[in-house]
Chain A
Amino acid sequence: MGANSQKKVLVCCGTGCLANNSLEIYNGLKSKVSAASVAVSVEPIIKATGCNGFCEKGPIVKIMPDDISYYKVKPADVDEIFEKSIMADEVIDRLLYVDVATGKKVQSQNDNDFYKKQMKLALRNIGEIDPADIDDYIERLGYQALNKVLFAMTPAEVISEVAESGLRGRGGAGFPTGRKWKQCAGYDSFPKYVVCNGDEGDPGAFMDRSIMEGDPNSIIEGMLIAGYAIQSEMGYIYIRDEYSLAIKNLAIAIAKAKERGFLGQNILGSGFNFDIQIVRGGGAFVCGESTALMASIEGNVGEPRAKYVRSVEKGLWGQPTILNNVETWANIPLIINNGSEWFRGIGTKGSTGTKVFSLVGKVKNTGLVEVPMGIPLRELIFGIGGGVIGNKKFKAVQSGGPSGGCIPESLLDLNVDFDTLAEAGSMMGSGGMIIMDERTCMVDVARYYVNFLAEESCGKCVPCREGLKRMLEILNDICNGKGQLGDIESLEEICSMTSEAALCGLGKSAPNPVVSTLKYFRDEYIAHIVDKKCPAGICKELTSFYIDQELCIGCGKCKRNCPAMAIEGEAKAFHTLDMQKCIKCGNCIDTCKFNAVKVGEEAI
């Protein structure tokens, strides 16, 4: 590779990398290049891309065509990268990824374990293109599917292709997308609407944000195809308030698509008209529920309604509407381009294609991963995720956001798809996978979700509004050491009532975190209620720590990290912890490399 071939430098500017100064790196490289432009025959291109997924190791800088990926790049590395890897063809060893198993440095992203086992469909362009440059998208076969449906397919053919692909909604419930479109196409009432649900509210899930930020045109193209299929001329993208970069990038993409004639009147000369507007959410979790979202677009309070009549018949402004999730939309152009048979060949029989998961929590490789449906949970968490931080003991994985459940270690060989997760008492949800270790208290986790949902409940129906409040009171008591015998039974009763009687999906699924932790981690509840102890050392009222004299080597790390100055001891002699001063933050237990800090009381 000589200095004459054009180099392309891709700087990840997803939210995770931005928080680690990637914009400074991007600007630094840009100014270096423009200052040196006279000296080189072919000017390198510097591009800001969307999220590469491997946020744990960000900021990420990729250099093509040499295929070098640098991780944890700092603004101070800019000069060296420019001189060695951009102006010359040298690889800077210290910025490469180190393979955990072999300890070897890895140059190409494709040889990196985190990426090697993935299959990128919905995320196909992210990290490879500049989301603000529509030509980047077009270069990677963008808008070919639109072209194909407009000039070579009838609306009915489009719907049957999507139906035959087996694609199920990526927003959580997994409703077959093709069936939804077919139902909507069957109603003879116009106008019809196409809606993209970008109100990604599940904590710990950020795949939709990543697609909206990193590949906005794939969503626009998906919606255009649906618009053609059901004869709709108007689409809305509802984006979560917190996602400013997603709003910005989608607005740019819509404007450029209009300029190029992909959106607007008489698209590509076909006679088909379609326009898209962005609606910014107001920071209410319940608006991720389809009917609440539509109420919010209409300019109302985002309260859901009972679904005696489905939105495909009477949705937005009482007209037939199809609403799909961001990731679902991003899959549509691929299905049209490659055919339903190709898509069906990926994943499992009941859940075709891939799914994007966000691996977060106590996992080594935090980030976004896309894998074929049916991958064993163990492979996802330990193979790609690299296992638990600090090699602590794995306890559970929580999937499906606040509506999902916790899956214990005994079920790690589960093959992940819509149906198996539901059978295990959890759900796919939007694909958040929160990994929990021995230092996670499962009662606190249940309380966390119930608290979240109690705050986000819109208050319209009694079972959800009151049921969640009462559950929260009981869980607060248990965590504060005031739990009583009978609390577990009360919780179970309220759970079954709420899931039976609540109006919308939020309330119906709200008990899941409690039900699943009670099912798999009942002993932790009992430890809180009967023994008045929190085995994980999280619930402050029920926790005490001590330092094991046999194991402490006196390195002083805990002492230095203690914000309350509660630890004393000379160097190289065992340390002691003063529980009077201790604020129970757990810094000591989390930083000790010798497992010398223990939860509980010292046996005397």
Chain B
Amino acid sequence: MAMEKTSIDFSSTHKVIQKYPQEKRYTLAILQDIQREYNYIPREALLILAKYLNTPLSKLYSMATFYKALSLTPKGDNIIKVCDGTACHIRSSMIIIDEIEKSLHIKPGETSADGRFSLETVNCLGSCAIAPVIVVNETYYGKVTAARIREILGEYGGN
């Protein structure tokens, strides 16, 4: 499990990285593959990549903190994305975020202490017809109301 740092096998980092030529322009693509592999970007992987691309670590760090798709901290087992695009916002997505906060005691950008849930907001998933929308892992829930939140979280073992 990617959550336990001690058990990460970094031989797979090399495998991920070596799919790409040693060119700077692939930096973002490689970082995204690393993110997918571990669910976050471990420091060790950044060090390996810095060597491979012959790039300062600081440069990779600035990329990893600039792009929202990349995260330097491990994410939870279940990732809840609440769409806060304009259409969802004016159909009260902030009430949905409030309810999830109350239920899981985490704010957007945080992961629950037991590592089971991460809460994120996203800027428009283009599913405005079914606003407000939340996505848990890969499953879309449309026309969500505050009253349905507990029921949805319950499917993933939340309370």
A297 touches B128 (CB 8 A): no
A88 at the interface (CB under 8 A from B): no
Which one of A19, A281, A361 contacts B130 once the chains associate, using CB atoms below 8 Å? A19
Cβ proximity bits B137-148 to A, threshold 8 Å, 1 near / 0 not? 000101001110
Given A301-B62, A434-B90: A242 and B125 within 8 A (CB)? yes
Contacts of B24 in A (CB 8 A): 298-299
Which one of A204, A282, A563, A586 contacts B28 once the chains associate, using CB atoms below 8 Å? A282
A585 touches B68 (CB 8 A): no
B69 touches A440 (CB 8 A): no
Number of interface residues of B (CB under 8 A): 43
B25 at the interface (CB under 8 A from A): yes
Closest to B32 in A: A280
Contacts of A19 in B (CB 8 A): 127, 130, 133, 140, 142
B153 at the interface (CB under 8 A from A): no
Which one of B26, B99, B123 contacts A285 once the chains associate, using CB atoms below 8 Å? B123
Complex alpha-carbon distance, A452 and B85, angstroms: 9
B75 at the interface (CB under 8 A from A): no
- Within the complex, the shortest CB–CB distance from A447 to chain B, in Å, comes to 10
B128 touches A586 (CB 8 A): no
A587 touches B128 (CB 8 A): no
A367 touches B86 (CB 8 A): no
A302 touches B66 (CB 8 A): yes
A583 at the interface (CB under 8 A from B): yes
B87 touches A586 (CB 8 A): no
Complex alpha-carbon distance, A301 and B31, angstroms: 12
Complex alpha-carbon distance, A388 and B133, angstroms: 20
Which one of A58, A284, A297, A583 contacts B67 once the chains associate, using CB atoms below 8 Å? A284
B127 touches A203 (CB 8 A): no
Complex alpha-carbon distance, A386 and B154, angstroms: 37
Cβ proximity bits A87-127 to B, threshold 8 Å, 1 near / 0 not? 00000000000000000000000000000000000000000
Which one of B26, B70, B98, B124 contacts A204 once the chains associate, using CB atoms below 8 Å? B124
B142 touches A20 (CB 8 A): yes
- Within the complex, the shortest CB–CB distance from A310 to chain B, in Å, comes to 22
Cβ proximity bits A388-409 to B, threshold 8 Å, 1 near / 0 not? 0000000000100000000000
Contacts of A283 in B (CB 8 A): 67-70
- Within the complex, the shortest CB–CB distance from A185 to chain B, in Å, comes to 25
Complex alpha-carbon distance, A563 and B63, angstroms: 42
Given A358-B128, A434-B87: A203 and B27 within 8 A (CB)? no
Contacts of B142 in A (CB 8 A): 19-20
A445 at the interface (CB under 8 A from B): yes
A586 touches B123 (CB 8 A): no
The residues in B between 79 and 98 inclusive whose CB is less than 8 angstroms from any CB of A are: 84-87, 89-92, 95, 98
Complex alpha-carbon distance, A452 and B70, angstroms: 18
A360 touches B25 (CB 8 A): no
Interface centre among B125, B127, B142, by most chain A C-beta atoms within 10 angstroms, is B127
Which one of B127, B128, B145 contacts A561 once the chains associate, using CB atoms below 8 Å? B145
A585 touches B92 (CB 8 A): yes
A282 touches B85 (CB 8 A): no
A206 touches B28 (CB 8 A): no
Contacts of A562 in B (CB 8 A): 147
Closest to B87 in A: A360
A563 touches B146 (CB 8 A): yes
Contacts of B66 in A (CB 8 A): 282, 284, 301-302, 458
The residues in B between 15 and 36 inclusive whose CB is less than 8 angstroms from any CB of A are: 23-29, 31-32
A241 touches B127 (CB 8 A): no
B122 at the interface (CB under 8 A from A): yes
Contacts of A210 in B (CB 8 A): 126
Complex alpha-carbon distance, A99 and B24, angstroms: 56
Contacts of B129 in A (CB 8 A): 16, 55-56, 58, 360, 366-367
B86 touches A585 (CB 8 A): no
A362 at the interface (CB under 8 A from B): yes
The residues in A between 414 and 462 inclusive whose CB is less than 8 angstroms from any CB of B are: 432, 434, 436, 440, 445, 448-449, 452, 456, 458
A209 at the interface (CB under 8 A from B): yes
Contacts of B32 in A (CB 8 A): 241, 280, 282
Contacts of A204 in B (CB 8 A): 85-87, 124, 128
B131 at the interface (CB under 8 A from A): yes
Interface centre among B25, B27, B70, by most chain A C-beta atoms within 10 angstroms, is B25
A361 touches B128 (CB 8 A): yes
Which one of B25, B89, B123, B128 contacts A55 once the chains associate, using CB atoms below 8 Å? B128
A249 at the interface (CB under 8 A from B): no
Complex alpha-carbon distance, A436 and B87, angstroms: 9
Contacts of A280 in B (CB 8 A): 28-29, 32
- Within the complex, the shortest CB–CB distance from A568 to chain B, in Å, comes to 17
Complex alpha-carbon distance, A204 and B91, angstroms: 12
A353 at the interface (CB under 8 A from B): no
Complex alpha-carbon distance, A298 and B69, angstroms: 17
A434 touches B86 (CB 8 A): yes
Closest to B70 in A: A282
B90 touches A362 (CB 8 A): yes
Complex alpha-carbon distance, A16 and B140, angstroms: 10
A15 at the interface (CB under 8 A from B): yes
A297 touches B140 (CB 8 A): no
Contacts of A206 in B (CB 8 A): 124, 126, 128
B90 touches A16 (CB 8 A): no
The residues in B between 51 and 69 inclusive whose CB is less than 8 angstroms from any CB of A are: 62-63, 66-69
- Within the complex, the shortest CB–CB distance from B25 to chain A, in Å, comes to 4
- Within the complex, the shortest CB–CB distance from B121 to chain A, in Å, comes to 9
Given A203-B87, A302-B66, A432-B86: A366 and B145 within 8 A (CB)? no
B147 touches A284 (CB 8 A): no
The residues in A between 292 and 324 inclusive whose CB is less than 8 angstroms from any CB of B are: 296-302
A203 touches B91 (CB 8 A): no
Which one of B25, B31, B85 contacts A298 once the chains associate, using CB atoms below 8 Å? B25
Contacts of A300 in B (CB 8 A): 27, 63
- New A-B pairs, 10, CB < 8 Å, besides A55-B130, A360-B87: A15-B125, A203-B89, A204-B128, A299-B28, A360-B129, A361-B91, A361-B128, A362-B90, A434-B87, A456-B123
Nearest first, the 6 A-B pairs at minimum CB distance are: A282-B67, A206-B126, A203-B85, A283-B68, A55-B129, A360-B128
Please list 30 pairs of residues, one from A and one from B, whose beta carbons are closer than 8 Å in the complex, sorted by A's number. Answer: A15-B126, A19-B130, A55-B130, A201-B123, A203-B86, A203-B87, A204-B85, A241-B32, A241-B68, A241-B69, A242-B125, A279-B29, A281-B67, A281-B69, A282-B31, A282-B32, A282-B63, A282-B67, A283-B67, A283-B68, A283-B70, A297-B25, A298-B24, A299-B24, A366-B87, A445-B86, A448-B89, A456-B123, A563-B145, A563-B147
